[in-house]
Structure 1
Amino acid sequence: MLTFRQEAAMDICAGRKRKLRGAARRCGRSAAGGVKRDAGRVLRSRTVEDNNHAEPMEEQEEQEEEDDCFSISFLRAGRPEPAVVVSPRYSLLREVGRGSYGVVYEAIARKTGARVAVKRLQCDAPENVELALAEFWALTSLENRHQNVVQLEECVLQRKGLAQKMSHGNKRSKQYLRLVETSLKGERILGYPEEPCYLWFVMEFCEGGDLNQYILSRRPDPHTNRSFMRQLTSAVAFLHKNNIVHRDLKPDNILISQKSGSPVLKVADFGLSKVCAGLNSKNSEEVPAVGGRGSNQNNIVNINKFWLSSACGSDFYMAPEVWEGHYTAKADIFALGIIIWAMIERITFIDAESKRELLGTYIRQGSEIVPVGEALLENPKMVLHIPQRARSSMSEGVKKLLQDMLAVNPQDRPDAFQLEVRMDQVTCAA
């Protein structure tokens, strides 16, 4: 369900104070007529319980594959952690992030000594389970790796102090089937006691923080901007070719790895993603391929024929059609346009909830700033002034590409494959 709460923060991008209706993440079913926001109010994420709440561990009632899990090498005052499992494979070093439904730790793999990121999600409510399974299904559906998509090493299901490695569609695991049923029914399953259950995602560790931290802590660098633009479009093209709509693209969910010496972007956080399964070229209209890669183009055409109806994402990156609850993968293209525009011109706002300075583009309406997508929904004929700054170094090619990415009509936006080709052209010409 979408809940409402009034928020206020200050816009600092131009050195002036402006009221801000904060950015929120959520995913819910759209009502008839779409999602609308009252003046002075903001869509908020669903509330969940504290993910650090620990329950007593008991013996497991059914025999499942037992696996080593995680040890806690630190304690938070007043926040008990799950009991330590014998012979843990990972040692948690420190907390590096906390969201509405999960906690992320930096950890060490004891066998190899490699640093990894471990996300712990407590599956104590149907909405938590739904988000956790969405991320699991998206990452496990990828048969190939991509350097700009965060890599999932393994997923572990923990219950009553025992752990079991998760595999997609494991019908022999009663715990996995319970999670799926909980997600599908949207309610706790009757007949089962409410027991502590956690999903642990072990992923590659990105030591460079997120895109906000990286960009805003450094001087403007056109070379870095061009590299990041190509990497982001490559990642989204890869996801769309694999029938995955991310639905929550924003700087917070773009991580930076510096293991190779130069920054490499990693698209992460697939909790709101949608795997559009069952698509094939026979189900969609044939269109001319661009750039000689016809098979890839067919996949992207198919995913753009798949309509979604859950109002998902974060306000400042949501496409106009997402606010109405009827959209396709082209919504990811719009979000990417907002991110790239803000990155190039360093347009920021202060998030009402976290008080952090975030990259994001918006429209000024009197004393308020409004997400671009919402403003376009209210006034489809509005012309976006790209670039915003008089002394911007943005090239004409990038300017035209951003205007196309942020088109009100999704059909006027390039698909992910077309975007990848055009981005290579405009960044090489810059």
Structure 2
Amino acid sequence: MPTFNKKEVMDLRNGKRRKVSGGVRSSRRTAAARMKREAGKVLRSLTVENNINRPGLMDDDEEEEDCFSISFLRAGPSGAASAVSPRYSLLREVGRGSYGVVYEAVARRTGAKVAVKRLQCDAPENVELALAEFWALTSLENRHQNVVQLEECVLQRNGLAQKMSHGNKRSKQYLRLVETSLKGERILGYPEEPCYLWFVMEFCEGGDLNQYILSRRPDPQTNRSFMRQLTSAIAFLHKNNIVHRDLKPDNILISQKSGSPVLKVADFGLSKVCAGANSKNFEEHPAAGGGGRGSNQNGVVNINKFWLSSACGSDFYMAPEVWEGHYTAKADIFALGIIIWAMVERITFIDAESKRELLGTYVRQGTEIVPVGEALLENPKMVLHIPQKARSSMSEGVKKLLLDMLAVNPQDRPDAVQLEVRMDQVTCAA
């Protein structure tokens, strides 16, 4: 079978530029965002008879979990198979991400709305992205109001469903998924026996940050609230050794359940859990000289010194060092700076593929627009003009903070904890 090359899903620099003609700005999508899979419509129910005629689907000793609007079997006391009612009903498709389809669903027992993301495990790169999201969200011991909450993850194969648990070495299905990701070849299932991963998450009815900001009049108070929420979320993730690596307005969702908008950082498919050599989530660099890169003798990680080497993300939000493929969690700080700058000044471009207007800052070079990180890589001495617009209400404190967040040298940027403190200061003073 063909092996999977990570570069196929990572956004690597290819020398192309975005050109502007007739006043229309365009961008190129990342390779990860282009990986749209031909997913089918909402799954039809599988009958009891169909399941009975397919023996050996779940050969683990674990109990199969009831799941979505699909029927499956559970062994009864006598060993006979019996149908189990699903816990969730899929209502409608609400979007397609870089590697999955998202549905609005309802929990049958409580009536609560949830978001359900379905990923077909038909390719190792899909499995790798799904496991990255699963590992990141299940590694969090506490909740944060600005990080999307994973309720459960379910592995479904031919109508039989099994709840996924982190690091469960007794689960053959889980181990096969990990093997698929590591070996880069298909391990689980066959075309006639599809395998799916389902992520059940909280439902965010307010859309993403692009939709929310651009559909409303400018509101400095909302901007300040969003700036504090975003920095709080990233500080929380970094304290928990998670680097998001794909921060952008598309991946920031809005919940309005409480009346006021609450941001939710989502889509952890490119994230990394940075851990020491002795951890179950040990990442890209092995230990060196006892402590390893980014960790001390006790395996405690300094996430700002833990080096990553996969050049990934979305180009308009990527830090200069990410383009080179050698970076730390400070890359998230840069991406956040681009998002906040664009949000405050409402700087946008038109995505060439989706034709959507997106929040994002850039550098204009003649008729071309270039991502800020790429431009800084080519010219580290380039001065960023913040604010970009002549009539801007941006305070001096926010301006200085953005310049620090977008420093070409990662060491000159504040870390997430420092950023949270400074953001509280500048937004309260504004």
Instruction: Please indicate, yes or no, whether the TM-score normalized by the shorter chain is above 0.5.
Output: yes
Q: Secondary structure at the match of 2:246?
A: coil
User: 1:397 offset after TM fit, Å?
Assistant: 0.3
3-state DSSP of counterpart to 1:312: coil
Counterpart of 2:375 in 1: which secondary structure?
helix
Counterpart residue number, 1:142: 140
1:71 Cα deviation after fit: 1.1
Aligned position for 1:178: 176
1:170 is displaced (CA, Å) by 1.0
Provide the residue aligned with 2:225 in structure 1. Answer: 227
Q: CA deviation at 1:22?
A: 2.1
Q: Does residue 40 of structure 2 align to residue 52 of structure 1?
A: yes
Structure 2 residue identity aligned to 1:266:
K
The amino acid of 1:218's aligned partner reads R
Q: What is residue 361 of structure 2 aligned with on the other side?
A: 361
Change (3 A) 1:213 1:131: same
- Shift in Å, 1:51: 2.4
Task: Say whether the 8 Å CA contact 1:124–1:197 is kept in structure 2.
Answer: yes
**What does the per-residue CA deviation read over 1:68-99, in whole Å, with 9 as the maximum and x for residues that have no partner?**
11117xxxxxxxxxxxx841110011111102
Partner residue of 1:78?
none
Amino acid at match of 2:247: L
Q: Tell me how far apart the structure 2 counterparts of residues 367 and 423 of structure 1 sit (CA, whole Å).
A: 35
| CA deviation map 1:310-355 (0-9, x unaligned) | 0110010000000000000000000000000000000001111111
The partner residue of 2:238 within 237, 240, 247 is 240
SS at match of 1:71: coil
Please tell me whether the aligned partners of residues 345 and 392 of structure 1 are also in contact (alpha carbons under 8 angstroms): yes
Aligned to 1:124: 122
CA distance, structure 2, for counterparts of residue 205 and residue 47 of structure 1? 24
Identity %: 83
The 5-angstrom pairing of residues 237-316 of structure 1 reads 237-278=235-276, 302-316=302-316
Give the conservation status (yes or no) of the 8 Å contact 2:276–2:292: no
Residue-by-residue CA offset, 1:153-197 (whole Å, 9 max, x unaligned): 00000011100000001111111100000001111239x645311
Q: Distance in 2 between matches of 1:427 and 1:61?
A: 54
**Per the alignment, do residues 391 and 311 of structure 1 end up closer, same or farther by CA in structure 2, a change over 3 Å counting?**
same
* 1:19 Cα offset (Å): 4.8
Match of residue 59 from structure 2: 62
1:138/1:244 contact within 8 Å kept: yes
CA distance in structure 1 between the partners assigned to 2:94 and 2:249 by the alignment:
16
Residue 387 (structure 2) aligns with = 387
Q: Trace 1:157-176 onto structure 2 (pairs within 5 A).
A: 157-176=155-174
Deviations, residues 5-38 of structure 1 (Å, cap 9, x unaligned): 9796768xxxx61453424253xxxxxxxxxxxx
May I ask how many residue pairs the two structures share in their alignment? 383
**Alignment partner of 1:24 out of 24, 27, 30:** 30
Matched to 2:423, the amino acid is: M
CA distances 1:345-368 after superposition (whole Å, capped 9, x unpaired):
000011111111100000000001
CA 49–106 in structure 1, closer or farther in 2 if over 3 Å, else same? closer
Output the CA distance in 1 between the equivalents of 2:31 and 2:109: 37
- Counterpart of 2:104 in structure 1 is 106
Deviations, residues 235-257 of structure 1 (Å, cap 9, x unaligned):
00000000000000000000001
Verify the 8 A CA contact 2:148 2:201 in the aligned structure 1: yes
RMSD, aligned CA: 2.6
Partners in 1 of 2:185 and 2:90 — Cα distance? 32
In structure 1, list runs of 5 or more residues that go unmatched: 27-44, 73-84, 287-297
What is the CA deviation profile of residues 265-311 of structure 1, one whole-angstrom value per residue up to 9, with x for unaligned ones?
A: 0000000000002289x87899xxxxxxxxxxx97x80011000001
User: Do structure 1's residue 405 and structure 2's residue 409 form an aligned pair?
Assistant: no
**Equivalent residue, structure 1, for 2:95:** 97
Unpaired runs of 5+ residues, structure 2, are 1-6, 45-49, 71-82, 280-290
CA contact (8 A) 2:318 2:331 kept: yes
Alignment partners' CA distance in 2, 1:176 and 1:328: 29
Deviation at 1:66, TM superposition (A): 1.2
CA distance in 2, matches of 1:138, 1:356: 29
Q: Which residue of 2 aligns with 1:425?
A: 425
Q: What is residue 371 of structure 1 aligned with on the other side? A: 371
State how far apart, in whole Å, the 2-side matches of 1:228 and 1:422 are: 14
Which residue identity lines up with residue 407 of structure 1 in the other structure? A
C-alpha displacement of 1:400: 0.2
Alignment of 1:211-222 (within 5 A): 211-222=209-220
SS at match of 1:70: coil
Change (3 A) 1:348 1:178: same
Aligned to 1:71: 69
CA contact (8 A) 1:283 1:302 kept: no
How many Å separate the matches in 1 of 2:24 and 2:397?
31
TM-score of the pair, normalised by structure 2: 0.84
Q: Distance in 2 between matches of 1:411 and 1:257?
A: 34
What is the TM-score when the length of structure 1 is the normalising length? 0.84
